[in-house]
Amino acid sequence: MFPSWLTSNASKTRTAETKSMHHAVLGTQLTKPLNNNQEEILFACGCFWGAEKGFWKLPGVITTAVGYAGGNRSHPTYQQVCSGSTGHTEVVRVVWDKSLIDLSDLLKLFWECHDPTQGNRQGNDLGSQYRSAIYTSNPKQMEPVLSSKEQYQANLVAQGYGSITTEISSNKEFFYAEEYHQQYLAKPGSRPYCSAMPTNVSLKSFQGSNFKLSKKVWSHFNWETNHGVLKSDNKPITSLTE
């Protein structure tokens, strides 16, 4: 157990840090309020280091940040989340420009970048903090999220996979992870690591989908190789058709 005063002080320090923190790759402020043409959502798909890199590369994404959500402890530390006692999972907060990229594009990356049938694990990482999850931020997001799950389940079954275990819920509070976790894979001296085990099964069009990114964008990702996101560079894809 961590002393309450230690946890409280760590949380206050982290809150102060994140207010002035900028994205190590995109240069955007992590905590800047959304404008009218932006939305946010939380994705959990294994270790958040590799997951975040996948999302920050997509054109139209304004900023990303890693943190914790879905549990019952406010402002948890990484150690507490890893203990499994908080109920939180490792998540990526994604903010995007709706005129440049659609939620369905983000869902395509989410479903394809990991194996959503593994329950409380992803690859060699075991524990509830590695479970697959989507936490929506407004009611309009829920319909395409559920429709994409239904479609991807059908795509997976056709390839011999089992049932999707992804937790889907709304309005879960997001707690920023410690500064050293933010854009970890883009920082000097980082340990190349990603637990994601992509199925190499593509998400087909689903009810409500409105894909905006071209096939050329998706050629930057190779899901045939486990942990494939590590084989790509850290640079964002700058064009919708690149």
- Let me know: does 232 contact 57? Beta carbons within 8 Å: yes
What's the full length of the chain, in residues? 242
Give residue 40's identity as a one-letter amino acid code: E
Give residue 118's identity as a one-letter amino acid code: Q
The reply to whether 47 belongs to the active site is: yes
Q: What is the per-residue DSSP string for 142-202?
A: HHHHHHHHHHHHHHHHHTT------EEEE-PPPEEPPGGGTTGGGSTT------------P
- Let me know: does 213 contact 240? Beta carbons within 8 Å: yes
CA 224, 230, 232, 237 dihedral sign is: positive
Q: Which of 47, 82, 113, 194 is catalytic?
A: 47
223: Cα separation from own chain's centroid: 16
Question: For residue 239, which of 215, 210, 211, 217 has the smallest C-alpha distance?
Answer: 217
For 128, list phi and psi in degrees, rounded to 5: -65, -20
Q: Which two tokens stand for residue 77?
A: 């530390």
Residue 92 parent element (H or E) = strand 89-97
3-state SS, residue 104 = helix
Catalytic residues: 47
